[in-house]
Amino acid sequence: MKKLMILMLALFAGVASKGQQNITIQPANPKPGDVITITYRPAGDLANTSKKVEAAFYLYRSSGTTADDLPLTLSGKDYTATITTDTSVNFIQLAFFTGETFDNNFNDGYTIQLWSGGKICKGSYASLANYFISQCTNSGVTANPEKALAAIEKERSLYPENARANESIYYYLIGKLKKDQLQGIIEKEIESAMKAGLTKEKDFTRVKALYSTAKLPAQSAFIDSLEKVKFPDGTWKIMETLKQFYSTEDKVKRTELAKTIISNIETDPKWKEYKDLKSNCDIIIIQGYAENKQWDLLKQQETGFSDKMTLASIYNDLAWKMQESGENMDKAEEMSAWATATAKKEVTAPAGTKPVYITTSVWAKQRERTYASYADTYAMVLFKLGNYKKGFPYTQEAAIIITKGNDASLNDTWALLAEKTLSVAKCKPQLEQFVRDGKAGSSVKEVLKRLYVAVKKSDAGFDAYIQALEKEAQLKIEAGLKKSMLSETAPVFKLKTMQGEEVDLEKLRGKVVVIDFWATWCGPCKASLPSMQKEVNKFSSNPDVQFLFIDSWEKGEATEKLKKASDFITGNKYNFSVLMDYDDQVIGKYKVEGIPTKFIIDKNGMIRFKSVGFESAEKLQSEIELMIGMCLKQ
What are 434-475's pLDDT values in tens digits? 999 888 988 999 999 999 999 999 999 999 999 899 888 888
Question: Residue 357 and residue 52: Cα distance in Å, rounded?
Answer: 24
**pLDDT tens-digit series, residues 558-601:** 888 999 999 999 999 999 989 999 988 899 889 888 899 999 99
Residue 294: per-residue pLDDT = 82
Task: Please report, rounded to a whole number, the percentage of residues in the chain having pLDDT higher than 70.
Answer: 97
**pLDDT tens-digit series, residues 217-255:** 899 999 999 999 999 988 899 989 988 888 887 888 888
| DSSP category for residue 141 | P
54 with 362: CB under 8 angstroms?
no
pLDDT beyond 60 at 360: yes
pLDDT beyond 70 at 13: no
186 with 208: CB under 8 angstroms?
no
Question: Residue 220 and residue 227: Cα distance in Å, rounded?
Answer: 11
Domains of the chain from N-terminus onward? 2-176 (2.60.40.10), 178-234 (no CATH), 488-632 (3.40.30.10)
Q: Residue 358 is which amino acid?
A: I
Question: Residue 24 and residue 94: Cα distance in Å, rounded?
Answer: 12
CA separation (Å) from 312 to 5, 62, 286, 585? 52, 33, 12, 39
pLDDT beyond 50 at 302: yes
Task: Give CA angle at 166 (163, 167), nearest 5°.
Answer: 75
Burial 327-353 (b: 16+ CB within 10 A, else e): ebbebbbebbbbbbebbbbbeeeeeee
- Tally DSSP H helices, then E strands, for the chain: 23, 19
Residue 373: per-residue pLDDT = 97
The helix or strand, by DSSP H or E, that contains position 74, with its residue range, turns out to be: strand 73-75
Class of residue 593 by CB neighbours under 10 A (exposed 0-12, middle 13-18, buried 19+): middle
For residue 493, count other CB atoms closer than 10 A to its CB.
19
Residues 6+ apart with CB under 8 A from 426: 418
Task: Please report, rounded to a whole number, the percentage of residues in the chain having pLDDT higher than 90.
Answer: 64
Nearest CA to 167 among 199, 121, 214, 236? 214
Residue 19: per-residue pLDDT = 64
Question: Residue 68 and residue 354: Cα distance in Å, rounded?
Answer: 10
Sheet containing 606-612: order of strands = 488-489, 606-612, 597-601, 512-518, 545-551, 578-580, 494-497, 502-504
**pLDDT tens-digit series, residues 19-72:** 678 899 999 999 999 999 999 999 998 998 889 999 999 999 999 999 999 999
Nearest CA to 98 among 72, 75, 76? 72
Higher pLDDT pick, 506 / 279: 506
Nearest CA to 474 among 628, 627, 626? 626
Q: Residue 123 is which amino acid?
A: G
Asked if residue 596 has a cis previous peptide bond (ω within 30° of 0), the answer is yes
Asked if residue 27 has a cis previous peptide bond (ω within 30° of 0), the answer is yes
Reported confidence tier of residue 304, pLDDT bands at 50, 70, 90: low
Q: What is the mean pLDDT of residues 543-557?
A: 92
Question: Residue 435 and residue 445: Cα distance in Å, rounded?
Answer: 8
Helical residues (DSSP H) of 134-216, grouped into ranges:
145-158, 167-177, 179-196, 201-213
Question: Residue 207 and residue 203: Cα distance in Å, rounded?
Answer: 6
The helix or strand, by DSSP H or E, that contains position 484, with its residue range, turns out to be: helix 462-484
**pLDDT tens-digit series, residues 367-423:** 999 999 999 999 999 999 999 999 999 999 999 999 999 999 999 999 999 999 999
Query: Phi, psi at residue 420, to the nearest 5°?
Result: -90, -15
Class of residue 529 by CB neighbours under 10 A (exposed 0-12, middle 13-18, buried 19+): buried
**pLDDT tens-digit series, residues 65-100:** 999 999 999 999 999 999 999 999 999 999 999 988
91 with 58: CB under 8 angstroms?
no
Reported confidence tier of residue 281, pLDDT bands at 50, 70, 90: confident
Task: Give CA angle at 450 (400, 404), nearest 5°.
Answer: 10
Residues 6+ apart with CB under 8 A from 567: none
Residues 6+ apart with CB under 8 A from 457: none
pTM of the predicted structure, to 2 decimals = 0.80
405 with 399: CB under 8 angstroms?
yes
